[in-house]
Amino acid sequence: MTDQPQGPINQWKTLDKDLNRFAQLEQATAFVAQPMVAISVSILFILVSALGAVVFAGASSSTMIIVVAAAFGGYMALNIGANDVANNMGPAVGANALTMGGALIIAAIFETLGALVAGGDVVSTISGGIVSPQSVADPDTFIWAMMSALIAAALWLNLATWLGAPVSTTHSIVGGVMGAGIAAAGFGAVNWPTMGNIAASWVISPILGGVIAALFLAFIKAYINDVPDKIGAARRWVPVLIGVMAGSFAAYLAVKGLKRLIDISLGQALLAGLVIGLAATFLTRPLIRRQSEGMENRKKSLKALFALPLIASAALLSFAHGANDVANAVGPLAAIVHAVQEHEAGSSVSIPLWVMAIGAMGISFGLILFGPKLIRLVGAEITKLNAMRAYCVALSAAITVIVASWLGLPVSSTHIAVGGVFGVGFYREWDAERKARKNGIQKGKPVAPEERSRRKLVRRTHVLTIGAAWVVTVPATALLSAIVFFGLRLIG
């Protein structure tokens, strides 16, 4: 018998190979297109920000300066969304209380609401007395200084996001203003005692946030997780923890996030927080009892009781961040607009609504387009989080700000949140080591060094990378701002 022709079969095999090549090409194109889409949308937003400046600032001989400043203001806002907001949403995503998509939507909504509803309408253009106003009293010098600070802070945030390091927006702006001030008027223009307080916050913020988060986790383990009747303990203590959260956030928002709407003292804010906390405790007690009915008496069941409060805390943190930090971010832009239009360097200026809108919308776009990278890092890559651990981090963020305000200490919300994640992870390490040592003593077998190493629950590489980025932020932005200032003066 003669062999049948193989032509059609070979043609099908060739076609399959070609289709596979096309599929691989499509996958590669999609992989490349995703970042290209994000970059394209970012460029479009920056152009829209510049166009908005043309519309709202009006036509004049100096409008171009405002247009350029608005473009860099939009770029700055995008980078804040990509870097700073991850601290609010990372723990909730890492604990699987929220999907990445849900976190991005909630954060974008509450960041925008916080900025537009409760965002400060007046901002200190010299960042709280970092640079003497007399040293940059000349309007032209002032404009170049604020432009340099804006560009330097935005570039640094972009680099930090690329490196995977959550850093402080406020510290970036402060460093930028300091560097431009030194370039404009020398080292004597800087208020060094104030800078010393800011440097102290590098240590105070993460340590205070970490200690408070670890204490709450220790409480939960001692009084809920490790008792025989876990469900009964949860019914007793979870409403109390929700009340602490509600009271803390009420005081937090009053002190840090609602300054534009309500002018109250720290004592009044604490009293309001106490009332709201007690009310929340009594109102949630029957809800927790109903939710816990039929649950198995084990640790895994308890995590569901913390999921909804964790989502609420993440939303409130985003609202407070939008209300408090957006003004800091667009402060240099508002200062430039004021200096151009009024021909004077103001130490404190009002923020036009269109400038605040650039900040709010830019943060939302930056979060959606570039935020997932740091959200995953904060929520899952530093240490493993569940709903209870993430809840401790959120509680720590609110309480630490209240304690720091009472003590008059400068703190960074970014450092507090990440410090809380570190605190939870290091407490788990210590607790695991303690239990292993106790079991080893009981069995007459000491813990081997390799076993001790295996029990490390916090990734040291992230600790070193993030810690280094925190320390470098102010000097790096100061140096970059000084370079940009001299460049702008040369061009101008």
pLDDT in tens, 228-285: 999 999 999 999 999 999 998 888 888 776 666 677 788 888 899 999 999 999 999 9
DSSP state of 447: P
pLDDT of residue 158: 94
pLDDT of residue 12: 47
pLDDT of residue 443: 58
What's the average model confidence in pLDDT over 110-137?
A: 76
Per-residue b or e along 199-216, where b marks 16 or more CB atoms closer than 10 Å to that residue's CB = bebbebbbbbbbbbbbbb
State how far the Cα of 82 lies from the Cα of 372, in Å rounded to an integer.
Answer: 8
pLDDT of residue 453: 52
First to last CA, the chain: 90
pLDDT of residue 424: 94
| Residue 144 confidence (pLDDT) above 80 | yes
Query: In 10 A of CB 272, how many CB atoms?
Result: 17
- C-alpha 267, offset from chain centre: 27
State how far the Cα of 234 lies from the Cα of 224, in Å rounded to an integer.
Answer: 6
pLDDT in tens, 273-309: 999 999 999 999 999 999 988 888 888 888 888 888 8
| Residue 222 confidence (pLDDT) above 80 | yes
The model carries a pTM of 0.84
Q: Quick one: three-class SS letters along 146-206?
A: HHHHHHHHHHHHHHHHHHCCCCCHHHHHHHHHHHHHHHHHCHHHECHHHHHHHHHHHHHHH
What's the average model confidence in pLDDT over 357-361?
A: 89
